Copies of this chain bind each other. A is one copy, B any other.
Amino acid sequence: MKRETPPPSPRSSAGSVSRQPGRWQLDRIVAELRTSREETHSIRRDGEARRAPSRDALEAILDGLTEALFPRHYGQSDLDGENIDYFVGNTLSAALDSLSAQIHRGALFVGDELEPGFVHEEAIELTRAFATQLPPVRGLLINDLRAAFVGDPAARNFPEILIGYPGMTAIIHHRLAHLLYQIGARLVARLMSEIAHTRTGIDIHPGARIGSGFFIDHGTGVVIGETAIIGNNVRIYQAVTLGARHFPTDDEGHVIKGDARHPIVEDEVVIYAGATILGRITIGRGSTIGGNVWLTKDVPPNSIVTQATARNTPSGA
């Protein structure tokens, strides 16, 4: 480590050390960072200011929607029969206003989804379409809640699951993000899915189609890919991957985007911790996939797939 004292700044006697001019050579670093941005085209040639969607705003929207769906568990204290609808309406109103603004930002910022000239009025229309689907989404989530209670011997009551379980948080976020993905607000949907990932360790692409009564227990490390299709009453455990095996490329060697490449999991399947299931294969109805299995081929209905046995080498002593 160098030890010599830097030369005193001419103005250092006038101010505190922490305001010393030239301390960080900011001018040079800022200029170099500008050059770096220009080289990578991150400043638009037309100089138009655009705003990326805000992760903070999307977090607040997800929280507001969750409170509106489950006001007794996530909402403010002391809700009763008289005031609960006011809370729900007010919370929903703020969340939807903000959502329409974020959808607008997302469309302008990306520029390659929705049509050119997308305006705020269209974002409002998409948001309205989204809002009308909230009551049926709540119905689906109640089925997910019941599936968790039935599927986990440690679950003693519904509040514990609804407030506490990461699998419940993940499916609430996913069903909202999937709705947005379906109506075309893909950047906002994708960012919401990553908020869920951060909060729960569960990574579900908003494109994944998931049936009724879905339960993820524990959940850390679960990955479910964009084109996965999951039937009804499926239960999966931590660190399960439903991923892609090969990435198809076009004639010029570029990866083709959006191709169907993730598993189809039929009704009533259980997949235990750490199983890695790759490619557009089908796991037949009623099958059980054991822990840590690595699987890349179709499985007929009612199969039981397990990993090759571990060796036990007693060390004596």
Contacts and interface: CB of A to CB of B under 8 A. Distances in A.
Contact of A221 (B153, B201, B288): B201
A233 interface: no
Nearest to A55: B163
Given A121-B5, A292-B294, A157 B110 contact: yes
A60 interface: no
A285 B23 CA distance: 43
A199 B198 contact: yes
A59 interface: no
Contact of A29 (B135, B187, B218, B223): B135
The interface centre, meaning the residue of A29, A92, A110, A288 with most chain B CB atoms within 10 A of its CB, is: A29
Interface residues of A, number: 158
A64 interface: no
A307 to B, nearest CB: 5
B200 A223 contact: no
A49 B84 CA distance: 10
A203 B220 contact: yes
B238 A1 contact: no
A51 B25 contact: no
Contacts of A186: 156
Interface string A40-74: 10110001111111110000000000001111111
A18 B104 CA distance: 13
Given A241-B273, A274-B274, A274-B292, A304 B313 contact: yes
Interface in A241-260: 241, 243-244, 247-248, 255-259
